[in-house]
């Protein structure tokens, strides 16, 4: 087998793990199944990820990076916080939620798996801290770039934003209805902008 750098292998294995998890579920995913999906011997996978939990953390980090890329890559962060929230959450929904039920189901399963797995509870809190950190930094950058201030702390705004969107995702996964979901998302966006009470710094 030709030599492949560990960083390249890591990305390949994370992609394979995401495929297996979305198809079979997180609890049923094994390193052997991921190795088969990636087309490599089990030992090659274990050289990069020695345990399922290590692989799950890499998958979570990959998902967080994907979300961050959507928010920063599709949003004009110099037009104010309200604009960023509207544009960012709309882009996030279009690119990562609508017609991506299995992806969202996988993210929820990652959380519940960690909470139910003895000794892995910290992975669940770490997952949410990563989400909140990304959203906090993103909101702060949008406000600062536009010379604005927010009535809420940026981390509180991020947590409330995450809670609102998570609730909409749960409803969408249970009953995908694009028209209803977009209308509800617009309502959540309006609530977030109103609560932020954005003003000139």
Of 48, 95, 54, the C-alpha closest to 71 is 95
Phi, psi of 55 (to 5 degrees): -70, -40
Per-residue pLDDT of the chain (201 residues; tens, 9 = 90+): 455 666 788 999 999 999 999 999 999 999 999 999 999 999 999 999 999 999 999 999 999 999 999 999 888 888 999 999 999 999 999 999 999 999 999 999 999 999 998 888 899 999 999 999 999 999 999 999 999 999 999 999 999 999 999 999 999 999 999 999 999 999 999 999 999 999 998
Q: What is the pTM of this model?
A: 0.91
Cα–Cα distance between 34 and 12 in angstroms, integer? 10
Which residues have C-beta within 8 Å of that of residue 54, sequence separation ≥ 6?
none
DSSP state of 49: -
Contact 172, 122 (CB under 8 A): no
């Amino acid at each position: 087998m030709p030599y492949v750098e560990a960083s390249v292998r890591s990305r390949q294995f994370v992609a394979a793990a995401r495929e297996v998890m979305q198809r079979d579920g997180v609890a049923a995913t094994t390193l052997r199944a991921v190795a088969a999906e990636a087309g490599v011997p089990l030992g090659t996978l274990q050289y990069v990820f020695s345990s399922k939990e290590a692989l799950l953390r890499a998958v979570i980090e990959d998902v967080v990076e994907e979300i961050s890329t959507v928010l920063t890559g599709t949003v004009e962060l110099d037009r104010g916080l309200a604009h960023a929230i509207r544009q960012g959450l709309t882009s996030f929904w279009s690119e990562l939620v609508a017609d991506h039920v299995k992806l969202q189901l996988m993210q929820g399963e990652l959380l519940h798996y960690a909470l139910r797995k003895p000794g892995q509870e910290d992975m669940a809190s770490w997952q949410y801290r990563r989400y909140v950190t990304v959203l906090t930094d993103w909101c702060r950058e949008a406000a600062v770039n536009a010379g604005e201030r927010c009535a809420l702390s940026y981390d509180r705004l991020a947590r409330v934003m995450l809670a609102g969107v998570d609730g909409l995702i749960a409803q969408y996964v249970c009953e995908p209805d694009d028209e209803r979901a977009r209308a509800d998302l617009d309502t959540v966006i309006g609530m977030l902008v109103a609560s932020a009470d954005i003003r000139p710094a």
